[in-house]
Structure 1
Amino acid sequence: MELEFAAKALKELGHPTRLAIFKRLVMAGYQGIPVGEVQEELGIPGSTLSHHISSLISAGLVKQHREGRVLFCMPQYNVLQDVINFLQAECCSAEAKEKIT
C-alpha cells in the first residue's frame, strides 16, 4: 500500500462522524446496510451523511450498490486490512535493527 493511499484512508477515518459511520458499516458485515438505517441509527441528516459517505468511498473504504430503491453501503474489509497491515509492516524493526548492530 502506498503512503498516500494509507494517509487518505486514515484522514477520512480521522473525522468522528465518518469513523462512527464506518464502525456501523463494519458491524453490518459484508452484505452492508441501507443508508437509511445508518441515518436513522446515528441521527445524521441525509445531506451530511451523503457527504461523509462520499469521502469514505473516495478513500476506497466503502462501496455502494442499489437494490430497487434501497441504497446499500458495504465496508471494504480488504482496504481496512491493507491500512492495518501498512501500519504494522515495520513494527519494531528499528528496535530489532539496533539489536543486530
Structure 2
Amino acid sequence: MTPKAVVAALGALAQETRLSVFRLLVQAGRAGLSASQIAEGIGIAPSLLSFHLKELLHAGLVTQEREGRSLIYAADFDAMNGLLGYLTENCCGGNPCSPDSKVACATEGGCT
C-alpha cells in the first residue's frame, strides 16, 4: 500500500459516521449490506449516508455492487488488511507482534 493510499484510508476513517459504517460493513462480512440496511444499522438518514459511502469508496475501503435495484456495499478486506499491514510492518523492530514478543520487547528495553 502506498503512503498516499494509507493517508486517504486513514482520512476516510477519521470521521465518526464513516468509522461506524466501515465497522458495520466489516461485521456484515463479504455479503455486505444495502444502503438502507447501513442507514438503519447506524441510525442515520439515508440522505446523509450517501456522502459517507462515497468517501469510503474513494478511499478504496469499500466496494459497491448492484444487486437488482439495490446497491450493496461491502468492506474491502484486502484494502483493510493492506492498511493494517502497512501500519504494523515495522512493529517491534520487524519482529512478530504477539504476546510473547511484547514481553520480550518490554524486558529488552522496549521496541524500536
The interval holding the TM-score normalised by the smaller chain is: 0.7 to 0.9
Letter in 2 for 1:6: V
Q: Could you list the runs of 4 or more consecutive aligned residues of structure 1 that deviate by over 4 angstroms after TM superposition? A: none
Residue aligned with 1:92, SS: helix
TM-score by length of 2: 0.80
CA distance in 1, matches of 2:87, 2:68: 39
Aligned residues: 95
Q: What is aligned with 2:90?
A: 90
- After TM superposition, give the deviation of residue 90 of structure 1 in Å: 1.1
Which is bigger in relative contact order (C-alpha 8 A, separation at least 6)? 1
Stretches of structure 2 lacking an aligned partner (at least 5 in a row): 95-104, 106-112
Q: What is aligned with 2:41?
A: 41
CA distance in 1, matches of 2:41, 2:75: 17
- After TM superposition, give the deviation of residue 7 of structure 1 in Å: 0.9
Instruction: Give the aligned CA root-mean-square deviation in angstroms.
Output: 1.5
- After TM superposition, give the deviation of residue 17 of structure 1 in Å: 0.4
What percentage of aligned pairs have identical amino acids?
A: 36
Residue aligned with 2:91, SS: coil
TM-score by length of 1: 0.88
Q: What is aligned with 1:32?
A: 32
